[in-house]
Structure 1
């Protein structure tokens, strides 16, 4: 057995349910003593692993600058401001290599060579890879795009780890953490180059970094992003994780009235006591939460963040399905592999049309997209007939026409591509607004790049006519700029709602009237008695409101053997409020908590106290020797495989 909890003096011997005094750690292969090595040695509890959300005397008060990286599914960028003028936020401009398009974000694309070394990112990666395809050299490279969404999809199917892989455009795989770290490092280096060009000399230790993640991402995914940032040479002591809808909410709260879209206003939206729903519609995911404005401009989450993979690329998938209905999956896949640059340009043009106002993108009642002549010629070569003739054989006969190098579709067909996403958004918002916890919420704040779509805006407005829809002019930059503000003042989010019930796996004295006979085991301390294993020892309950820097109750453990060097146990989450066992429906293994107890100074039976903190954007843990009060080494690993 790895560890146990000491019984309290006043414990009722008949008690069988888990209490604070009888929660020993369950003995399993996953929690037997771990010998500390360079690869698994627990980190000392210090400023880098205490709550990510600091208080007024925060660790970043001496930083000269805050730089936020908004790592998006389709586009990414960074922004920064100096501590001397926190509201003066700078965003670099990016220029497409194939057009005059200038934007504040660049495509989330990574190009690596055959040795997995970095080559290019963003528009440069798109341009270079297209050239390699034309020169028949693409097999020597890895080209990754939209890999953030791949990561989210992986978390829905399997436990995330450092070994999790993502596929490039041709199906070649690499560890996801490697791809993410290359992207983060490029943006980090780009900032330093930009500062050097301006003659600004700032060292890494002078910068507080902020990395954005969707609020619906799970805890291992957040730790994954932190590890990727560390691989990109960002010191963990100088890094905070920001939740995207929270960042957008912070940004909008500080905007003047004239910075909102015509027809929407922030008047009274952000006054104390007001409640509003944040609809963060990005390229990959839709993040939804509800905030209440508290005193001194603080914000409190009223409903745990929720949403799904209904973002802008859902529209792309629907558009792509139309194409495959006409030309077939194999033809489109072959075209993507053999004419990559043209394929990318087609979807880039589609992206522009997605964001335009309906009247601008559909003159004469039709939406026009450019299509390469190669696409049309190849189709005729493969199938022996032109694509117009084939289209007339499909359900798109009356709504889609091919004219020269253009694809022209009726406005109704174009709008139908948005329907699956809009339906999901409307249904989810409707359910959330019906929750008694958010009663009185009649404002919807729309942010994120996908919120710039007039079709999405109209769908929300028509579905909720009694709600005021508020949209900032820079909806696509709300998360990025808000993340900078969050970095300067992380304590602005005063409280959050816990998504799951968290606990550790432990054992308790076996009671045949209460416990499952299949979980009966001999007590390793007393062979004449029995214990029940796989007990879910609850630390915090799903739906609980946790405040900034709030610590849960301390739990004390002690080693079973005198030669034991570590205490290790499994952490679980549950969708249920009060689970009894860790293997019952709704329970999921989260990770492993390892406490280094090698330095016990000859104590006869040392005790160690550990406590979890949930008030920040990440779970953190601290531990101490309960007898000497010295800080103990402890590590929470959420990226290991299941026990």
Structure 2
């Protein structure tokens, strides 16, 4: 939901003189948080504290983020999150008690994949039990909020929750409804809206890297040694940020305006091409190896072994690179081989040797499965190819022809296979990979919380308009849109455009203002249906390119002007969220109107002209 305070610069200081900015990066596969103090930010913006280590338990996997996995008790109360949730669920499965609990993983993609988001939409857990999605997100954000608060209080005494400004990261390619959904979930988790900001993930990464010295970056490409010493963040430089997480790839192109300001050159692009595509390829391999029926039963009835098997794969896939030869070993659960023999009548070891595509490439030895690295590398093909395609598509645009530097960040950017694909396909560009690339977005979000005005302008990725009635014009408007209102004929469903796709949107400035009047004399408010379009100049909201995205309501309580009461609407689209102002023509009264991009139904009609 739009907020007039979404880009505020006011400072919140504690009694000890400290002000804390904390960022939560709630990802598809992994989540974490980071924070910094104002006085330390002013000395060194990159001095950001992150959770030191998250321990996985028996598998001894240690990471700077924890899996985005939630376990709830049978009564839907909180049980555990992250590695703890995974371990607890596996333990419950030993006693066959796990089916009474709620186990959620990889559910963030729901916000990207759903074309229409509703507050009461449901999400299914591991066993198909449903729960309101916004409550699931709320509980996860609350855990990260509370965990961070406990951490910062342990390090710095005298810091209260009211001393903290919170930043929540979201992909730049997300819709307005997805951003509002996350904002409302965060508010439900206990973060007040006046202290909550939304940061776009590739922008956050860009801000952090702007402050990094060159020796903290891996710089590759066919550039000369001399040019490699030049920072890509000098005035006038253009560069691309490729943020690859578990669920999505988020690509943005920036130009450096001056030492501390950036502008967007083209609207964000990308898609569902994150690291989970590698996980899917691995699961497809297992389906081919043992059969879908066996894997389905294994995942359902042998939950502990299934969870640990996937966790070992998560560790193994980080080690795969183009140089590795021979085979890699993984522990093969005995329960899986027993299930195979029960279903197929033969041993998995014997059958694998008979299949041509697996012969001499997959070996079963005791409780180990040894897989040829050529097969393991193939699991990365689809993911890497899609990412390379999206980057190539954006680089081919006229606005991006001068871009010579690619910044690779995000959790999956640390994959040697992806790095090699980027190196190979864009050898004529300078490729930069920052240290701890998986934490760059998180740390950059903290910097954004301290200085949100760093982004000077963005590019509209679609056209925004409202559904209105206009005077009917014979020969211009189709008769199917003709409707009589009082004594005159109107054309309904007209797309009244406020922002056109590709338009530069300056942060904090109203790009367009327009006058509207009530359709009927007795109206005390104007309700607008808001639509987006993938076209620059849509004519009607019913055009195939248009989608209904939400509502805008503006109060007009002064009825003395009848249906000639004018209201001027101006929309500020430059920030991470949309701010709307409405000015009554007769009284001059200015009010903040609100967008509602989350609907319980998509029906409704504008009653304005």
Q: TM-score range by the shorter chain?
A: over 0.9
Is the 8 Å Cα contact of residues 597 and 632 (structure 1) preserved in structure 2? no
The equivalent of 1:29 in structure 2 is none
Matches within 5 A, 1:35-434: 49-50=3-4, 52-54=6-8, 58-60=9-11, 64-86=19-41, 87=45, 88-92=47-51, 93-153=53-113, 155=114, 158-198=115-155, 200-261=157-218, 263=220, 267-356=230-319, 358=321, 362=324, 365-394=326-355, 395-434=357-396
The equivalent of 2:607 in structure 1 is none
What 5-or-longer segments of structure 1 have no aligned partner?
A: 1-42
Post-superposition offset of 1:399: 1.7
Post-superposition offset of 1:201: 2.9
CA distances 1:412-460 after superposition (whole Å, capped 9, x unpaired): 1111000011111111211211110112111111001111111111111
Q: Distance in 2 between matches of 1:406 and 1:262?
A: 39
Q: More deviation in 260-269 or 113-122?
A: 260-269
Is the 8 Å Cα contact of residues 506 and 536 (structure 1) preserved in structure 2? yes
Q: Distance in 1 between matches of 2:589 and 2:350?
A: 79
Q: Evaluate the alpha carbon distance shift between residue 183 and residue 99 of structure 1 in structure 2; reply closer, same or farther with a 3 A threshold.
A: same
The equivalent of 2:593 in structure 1 is 634
Match of 1:294, SS state, is: strand
Q: Distance in 2 between matches of 1:141 and 1:485?
A: 38
Match of 1:504 among 466, 471, 475: 466
CA distances 1:186-227 after superposition (whole Å, capped 9, x unpaired): 011112222333352323322111101111111100111001
Match of 2:512, SS state, is: coil
Q: Distance in 2 between matches of 1:632 and 1:268?
A: 45
Q: Distance in 1 between matches of 2:454 and 2:200?
A: 13
Q: More deviation in 237-246 or 374-383?
A: 374-383
Q: Distance in 1 between matches of 2:156 and 2:541?
A: 57
Is the 8 Å Cα contact of residues 443 and 470 (structure 1) preserved in structure 2? yes
Q: More deviation in 335-344 or 456-465?
A: 335-344
Q: Evaluate the alpha carbon distance shift between residue 51 and residue 236 of structure 1 in structure 2; reply closer, same or farther with a 3 A threshold.
A: closer
Match of 1:632, SS state, is: strand
Q: Distance in 2 between matches of 1:61 and 1:266?
A: 38
What 5-or-longer segments of structure 2 have no aligned partner?
A: 222-227, 604-609
Q: More deviation in 469-478 or 110-119?
A: 110-119
The equivalent of 1:12 in structure 2 is none
Is the 8 Å Cα contact of residues 242 and 409 (structure 2) preserved in structure 1? yes
Post-superposition offset of 1:389: 2.4
Taking structure 1 as the reference length, the TM-score comes to 0.87
Taking structure 2 as the reference length, the TM-score comes to 0.92
The equivalent of 2:451 in structure 1 is 489
Match of 2:328, SS state, is: strand
Q: More deviation in 349-358 or 611-620?
A: 349-358
State the structure with bigger RCO (CA 8 A, min sep 6), 1 or 2. 1
Is the 8 Å Cα contact of residues 503 and 571 (structure 1) preserved in structure 2? yes
Is the 8 Å Cα contact of residues 72 and 108 (structure 1) preserved in structure 2? yes
Is the 8 Å Cα contact of residues 239 and 406 (structure 2) preserved in structure 1? yes
Match of 1:131, SS state, is: helix
The equivalent of 2:428 in structure 1 is 466
Post-superposition offset of 1:247: 0.8
CA distances 1:225-279 after superposition (whole Å, capped 9, x unpaired): 0011011011111111111111111111111122123757673311111111111
Q: Distance in 2 between matches of 1:198 and 1:289?
A: 36
Post-superposition offset of 1:51: 6.3
Q: Evaluate the alpha carbon distance shift between residue 562 and residue 586 of structure 1 in structure 2; reply closer, same or farther with a 3 A threshold.
A: closer
